[in-house]
Each structure stands twice: as structure tokens, then as C-alpha cells.
Structure 1
Amino acid sequence: MVSFPPINKNFNVASYPGLFSSYEQQRNFFKESDAGSKIWDDLTTKSNSKLIMYNPVGPVMTFSSARELTGVDVMKGLKARALLKSERPMWDAFEANTVSLPTGEVYTALQTGMIDTINSPPGSIEAYSWWEYLNYAQKPYQYFADAYIMANKDWFDSLPADLQELVMEVGAEVGELATNTILDAGESTLTKFVERGGIVTTLSGAEKAKFDAMMTEKVMPAMADMFDKDVLLAAEAYAKK
């Protein structure tokens, strides 16, 4: 198990809210762009690893039991669970209260009212029964939580060429299947969420512009120690292509 941000802090750009619009775009930033590939090459060199396949956790969005998530202003005062360090600047900008909780304690925290809002892949609210207490959701997805099956590079390089090719071929196929499955499962959960009476709001127009402005003016400066500014600018430029 390798955690990438401790190896290269610039990998944190992957969890910058609202940056990438899909897994494909996020992955291609690290494969195709100069800034992204430099980060990826540094990670794999220092960890002596090779990517075999993607095994995504799921795209992350906001869910709440407090009120309909119609825009930026309604976030003030929410009691949010912050899973990642990179989530806190956004909640601070919203003027929400944050609590750090392991996944196993989220259900009880929702039940008791310790928290009323979480960022989560849709599938998790069903799998952990959190949707018993969550009635409102907000899109677009904030970031695309990814995971990777890596191989020791020395071991991989020691394999015969035909076996290396087979491993990579199967990895690509299974990774694509895993990605499509997690996306489909998330949308299926949201359909069931709405059928249960849940309300999903998609930020657009003036509210989306307000969110984007908040990210630029408040969140980006607060995350300055998490990644280099030029990396974020490169990622933003790539995402707009």
C-alpha cells in the first residue's frame, strides 16, 4: 500500500474540489501533461512501482441531512465530516464546522447529530446505510477518488516480455471495468436515493460561478502548502482543454 501525497505533495491536486470533470481527465493529466507526468514519474521512481490498473473508490459529492444544498450560502453552519486534510479549506470557506471521523463512526455521528453533512461517493451512503439520515445531495462531483494497483518495478521488469504485455493488457481491461462499474453503481444509488425522497441539486449558472470564485479567492490560498501553485494552474489549464 502506497500513499502518494507523502511522496510528492503535488499529487494532492487530484483532490482539489471541482477541478477535474471525470476519471479519464484526471488520469490523463498525470499521463499526458508536462506538469502531471512529472509528478507521476517522481512518484513511481521513488516508490519503485509500476501502475498495473486503476481501482477507483468513486466520485465524491456532498450529502446532508440539514437542508437542501442549493448553493454556497446554505453551507454555512453545517456540521461536516472532513475525511481528508484537503477537504478542510473548502468547509472553512463555507463557514461550516468540521469533525474528523473514521468511516466506522459516521453512522452513529449522523444518528446522534454530531454531524449532518459528508463528502462521499454515492455508493457508500447505501453500503453503510448512511442514507437513512441523509436527504439532500449536491452535484457536480467534487473530485474523483482513485486507487491504484501497483507492482514492484524490479519484479515487473524481471518478467518475460510476453507476460508483461499480458499483465498490462488484463490490467487495462479490468481497470476500465472497475471504473465503469463504480460510476454506474454511484448513479444507481442516486436513483434509489431520489426514489427514497432524496433531493439532488446540481450547481449551475450563478451558483456554480459563486462556488468557483470562492475556490479561487479562499480555498486555493488556504491549500497553498498542499501543492505548488503552478501545478494547480497547469491542472486547471488542462481541465479546460
Structure 2
Amino acid sequence: MTIKTLTAASLTALVLGSGGAFADTWRYAFEEALDEVQGVFAQKFKEEVEANSDHEVQLFPFGTLGESDNILEQTQSGILQFVNQSPGFTGSLIPEAQVFFVPYLLPEDDQQLFKFFRESETINRIFPELYAEQGLELLTMYPEGEVMLTTKQPVTGPADLGDVKVRVMTNPLLVESYQAFGATPTPLPWGEVYGGLQTGIIDGQENPAFFIESTRMYEVTDHITRLGHNNFTTALMANKDFFDGLPEEDQKVIEDATQAAFDHIIEYQQGLTETSLDKIKSAKPEMTVTTLTEEQRAPFRETADQVEATFLEIGGPRAQEVLDQMKADLEAAAN
């Protein structure tokens, strides 16, 4: 039996079978391995909760309980208490969250980026309301690193992406973005990406450098291109009924642990991109890493208005409000 064939009842039995009262053991699933960014964040969250309460936090890294859609569903149904997931996978559920896939919207400067995530009205006021409508308590959003494109052929402009099948998350706006770039976006579950690159089902994929290194995507691609178009965003959520049913002291434990984990992961990311690229080049010296010039980025940057217009069409009833507030937040972060 695979995890995908488990019924809700049998899955509940599986995650509860390790012992401990349900109220005292909180279960937290995420999309990466323990030693990757989401895993480092989760371990800090666990450490803080367990140091400041009698509760235990049980961690479930990627693959333990299925793919990204599985763990989100399990959190909504209350089987899991916490889930760490990118808006890329919640875009169909919360269409406004697709705003994070408008290219060249987020700043490349780390300090501006971190200030935005700390102070954003969009993240701290609007998105919690949208997530609550889906039975989720949004605890925080945080960046994971500059998104880079890995391909089998070098890329210096949109013409180089003609007929290139780029794996994307199942997110309509990300599909639109890569179509605008000139590529053929191909939605594919993460568990199928390495094999898809080996067999030619896809020709490339995008992710932060640490993830390209840790998942060995460089083994099945030959070129990394830094388009400067985005930074990978992720979100920590709780089952809302679970969170709302907690006493205030437990809610504060969670909020404090979330803030401590946020601060920790921002510090952890200092220099992570360059360290990861060095590891990739050490493991595969023939791998090229190309940072496009501003002139080379210009035709990619020109697609932003097109993708933004699509976001306003498909981004849900509050799309305009989200986009306007996000731009105001980004302007504030730049000052």
C-alpha cells in the first residue's frame, strides 16, 4: 500500500500510532527534507514549541505523507495540525496567492525582501483572511531564495526557450509566466521531476540554488540561469479549527515559535545561495552558472505586465486589492 492509497481513517491511525495524546502531539508536514530550508524552519519551530510548552511537535518531511496536495488536504481535514507549503500549490485554492508568481515583482535586494516579508500588509492583514476562508490559519510567509532555471541548453534570452519544456508547479500564473518567457510550461509533481529530466519528458525546472544542489537536479541538467525573476515564497499554516480551539497561552507559544523560526531562517539564508552554487560547481565542474545582464533580462522583464494582467483576470475577487497593496508594501520596503 502506498501513502496515496491510504484512506483518511488509516492515515489518521498511522500518524497517531506513535503514541501520545492527540492534544499534546502536534503534527507538522512540509515540502522539503529536514536539512533543506523548510526543514530547518520546522526544526526551529519544533525546538521553540517544546522548550516553552508541554507539547511535542512531530515533523513529516517531503514524501512521508504524499505530495504537496496530500499534505494540504490532510491539514484542512485536521489530520495534520501544521503544513508548510508554497502558494504555488495553494494557487487554485486561494487564487490571490498567485501574485507571488508575477515575474520581477519581488525585489532582488535581500534587505528589501526581508523587510517586505516582515512588514507587509498584504501578508499580515489580507492573506490571513483569505486563508481562513479555506480553513487555514496563516502563521507566516517567508522567502527561500532566488529562483534559478536549470536546463539542458544554455539560455540567454526568450528565443533559447522555444520548445523547451520547463516543469512548473500546478499553478496557472506560473504557467502563464513561462509561456510569456517563450517556454512550454509543463506541470508535474515534484516526485517525478528528476526522472522526467532523465527521460526527456521535461527539459528544465526552476528552484532556489540550495534545492537544486540538495536534490541533485544538476545531475540531469547542464546549465543554471539566473533570470532574476523571482524568489521562492512559502507559507506556514495551521488547521484553523485546531488553532482557534487552543487556549490563548498555546496560541502564543505557536506565534512566538513562528517568529523565532522566521528570524532563524532569515539568518540561515545569508550566503546560502552562493555556498550552494559552489557545491554544485564542485560536484559537476562542467555545469555553467550564468547571471543574465540587465540587457539580457529586459525581454523577460517586459512580460511582467502581461502576467500581471492575467493575475487580475484569474486571481480571485480580491486580486486588484492584493496587487495594489503588495506594490505599496514593496515601495515601503524599498525606503
TM-based fold match above 0.5: yes
Tell whether 2:262 aligns with 1:175: yes
The 1:48/1:87 distance shift into structure 2, 3 A limit, reads closer
Once residues 235 and 219 of structure 1 are traced to their aligned partners in structure 2, the CA distance between those partners, rounded to angstroms, is 15
Greater length-normalized contact order (CA 8 Å, ≥ 6 residues apart) = 1
Asked if 1:135 corresponds to 2:226, the answer is: no
Among 82, 89, 97, the residue aligned to 2:168: 82
Deviation for aligned residue 1:41: 3.7
Q: 1:104 aligns with which of 191, 201, 205?
A: 191
For 2:264 and 2:224, locate their aligned partners in 1 and report how far apart those are by CA, in whole Å.
26
Do 1:48 and 1:152's aligned partners in 2 also have CA atoms closer than 8 Å? yes
**Alignment TM-score, normalising by the size of structure 2:** 0.59
Which is further off, 200-209 or 225-234? Answer: 225-234
Cα RMSD, aligned residues only: 3.1
User: 2:240, 2:166 → 1: CA distance?
Assistant: 38
1:236 aligns with 2:327: yes
Note if contact 2:147-2:208 (Cα within 8 Å) is conserved in structure 1. yes
Paired positions, count: 235
Q: Deviations over 1:84-122 (max 9, x none)?
A: 322111221222223222212211221122222111232
Q: Which amino acid aligns with 1:101?
A: L
Rounded to whole Å, the distance in 2 between the matches of 1:7 and 1:115 is 26
Q: Which runs of 5+ in 1 are unaligned?
A: none
Residue pair 1:59, 1:145 contacting (<8 A) in 2 also:
no
Which protein shows a greater Rg? 2
One-letter code aligned to 1:27: F
For structure 2, the residue ranges without an aligned partner over 5 or more in a row are 1-74, 77-88
Which residue of structure 2 aligns with residue 120 of structure 1? 207
Q: Which range moves more in the overlay, 19-28 or 133-142?
A: 19-28
Q: Which residue of 2 aligns with 1:204?
A: 293
Q: Distance in 1 between matches of 2:219 and 2:178?
A: 23
Equivalent AA in structure 1 for residue 120 of structure 2: E
User: 1:108–1:47: structure 2 CA closer, same or farther, 3 Å change rule?
Assistant: closer
Match of residue 11, structure 1, among 97, 101, 118: 97
Q: How does 1:153-192 map to 2 (within 5 A)?
A: 155=243, 158-161=246-249, 163-181=250-268, 184-192=271-279
Amino acid at match of 2:162: K
> Structure 2: how far apart are the matches of 1:239 and 1:54?
15
- Seen in structure 2, the aligned counterparts of structure 1 residues 132 and 37 have a Cα distance that, compared at 3 Å, is same
Partner secondary structure for residue 157 of structure 2: coil
Q: Deviations over 1:120-144 (max 9, x none)?
A: 2323323332211222122225232
Whole-angstrom CA distance in 2 between matches of 1:54 and 1:229: 20
Q: 1:29-50: per-residue Cα shift (whole Å, max 9, x none)? A: xx533x5555224225424654
What letter corresponds to residue 327 of structure 2 in structure 1? E
**Equivalent AA in structure 1 for residue 298 of structure 2:** A
Residues 53 and 213 of structure 1: is their aligned pair in 2 closer, same or farther, counting only changes over 3 Å? closer
Deviation at 1:64, TM superposition (A): 0.9
**1:135 maps to amino acid:** D
Residue identity over aligned pairs, in percent, reads: 21
Change (3 A) 1:133 1:56: same
- Residue 99 to residue 14, structure 1, CA distance change in 2 (3 Å): closer
TM-score by length of 1: 0.78
